[in-house]
Amino acid sequence: MQVDGWLERAAATRPAHPALVTPEGVLSYEQLHADARAAAAELEGFGAGTGARIGIALPAGLDFARALHACLLLGAAAVPVDLRLSEPERDAVASRCDVVLAEPVPLAGATRGFVSGGGAGRSGARSRHDLDASALVMHTSGTSAAPKPVELTYGNLLWSSLGSAVALGAPDDERWLCVLPLSHMGGLSILVRSAIYATTALVHERFELDRALDALQRQRVSVVSLVATTLERLLVAGLERVEGLRCVLLGGGPAGAALLERARAAGVPVALTYGLTETCSQVATTPVAALGGDGREDGPGDGTGDGRASPAQPTRRAVPPLFCTQVRIAPDEEILVRGPTVAPGALAPDGWLHTGDLGALDGAGRLSVLGRRAETIISGGENVAPAEVESVLESHPLVLEAGVYGVEDPQWGEAVSAVVVLRRPGDGDGTESVEELRAHCARSLAPYKVPKRISLSPAPLPRTRSGKLLRRELG
């Protein structure tokens, strides 16, 4: 099936409307479309056309967006390259591309900045998209294994954008702030959705606290995508009651009860989301319509009936799947997903994406994510989800962030262990703090879930660029 080209449609219907707002400048849809067509002509002249894989090794900004849309106009697959990878890692991604853009695409003239591979057939900019064709090759964040490529189709992108719009809305004056890496789906999806909606994306090269806070306070942002650590930093810096901000879309990992309560008290509406690269971003998202005026969910969040997490199960916040997405729970509690947002190559023989995440569905079909199956700690024959213990630790006022992992132990098989970063590392004796945290956990968790060992770290915990905890590095 084919559909009208997204960028061409946006340029025809809203030519003067801002498509991109960046610290380096602004592009209207008419300008972005013209630039993308010129870039597509340059790429085609270099031998890259339909079916080519084009690596984009550029920082987030106008040139990245031009290159991305040039690929989509050509019917080529864009392959964003994370510039923070090591040289061997970047080379490994580039080796699977036909062309790599190491510098901005020249809009006329020379082809400097290209690093060539095999080449591909010629086509020309297109006015329609084939929904079954490959549009992107994204790489997973690599929290529990090496990053792997995931091939997403134009249909995956379109259905993901439609599902997100049903949950979050897509008003004509939408201004979505992107401070996430464009080499990951959570960031790149903002550029794609904005083009499909013909709305505005505000793109920063990286998360910078002062710049992000200024944008939220002064640039009429209506939605921003964040992870827990960046939301925490913004709240500490004074983010509160932003006029026109419909929601913070919060994903990338568990969000502690204390953080969500702090956001609610500051009048910052938070929509929780769970997603994967293989599902083109969102699987389940709190609808904006379900957020109260104070940022609290109107309905029950974990089955307690008041929208708050119970102390014993602080990570269980139930979120409905997108309207186009099916979710079920396997007998071993693994989350299984299928629907038009799922990358075709990611489906198992049974027709489902096996996510590797553990979860539960409530009576209303809402999903609670309990953690990674591969990260489950088996202590004394009992299963412990690290994310649940982390959420309890982070609900303590002393704690800024926590990471929980298993350590081989002759008595328990694995001992539940934690690394904690205190909000004020210089306050109090370390031993007293550790004992206080253990007592805090004992009040909320079953005894076998209470960390046997807690260590204090003066440095931030290791995370990916998209903010996910690198649990394998904690030991």
Whole-number Cα distances in Å, 462 to 143, 378, 403, 431, 467? 10, 23, 9, 23, 9
Residues 263 and 385 reside in one and the same domain: no
- Domain termination site, one of 271, 290, 318: 271
Question: Which pLDDT value is given to residue 156?
Answer: 98
Question: Which pLDDT value is given to residue 341?
Answer: 98
Domain, as residue range, for 399: 376-473
Question: Which pLDDT value is given to residue 470?
Answer: 87
**Inter-axis angle of helices 257-265 and 386-394, to 10 degrees?**
40
Question: Is pLDDT above 60 for 134?
Answer: yes
Question: Is pLDDT above 50 for 88?
Answer: yes
Number of domains in the chain: 2
What's the CATH number where 216 sits?
3.40.50.12780
Q: How far apart are alpha carbons 156 and 136 in whole angstroms?
A: 10
Instruction: Tell me, yes or no, whether 344 lies in a domain.
Output: no
> Which whole number is the average pLDDT over 151-163?
97
Question: Which pLDDT value is given to residue 451?
Answer: 94
Contact 389, 422 (CB under 8 A): no
Instruction: Tell me, yes or no, whether 284 lies in a domain.
Output: no
Question: Is pLDDT above 70 for 145?
Answer: no
Q: How far apart are alpha carbons 6 and 65 in whole angstroms?
A: 14
The pTM for the full model equals 0.80
- Domain termination site, one of 237, 271, 305: 271
> Which whole number is the average pLDDT over 177-190?
95
Instruction: Tell me, yes or no, whether 323 lies in a domain.
Output: no
Question: Which pLDDT value is given to residue 427?
Answer: 56
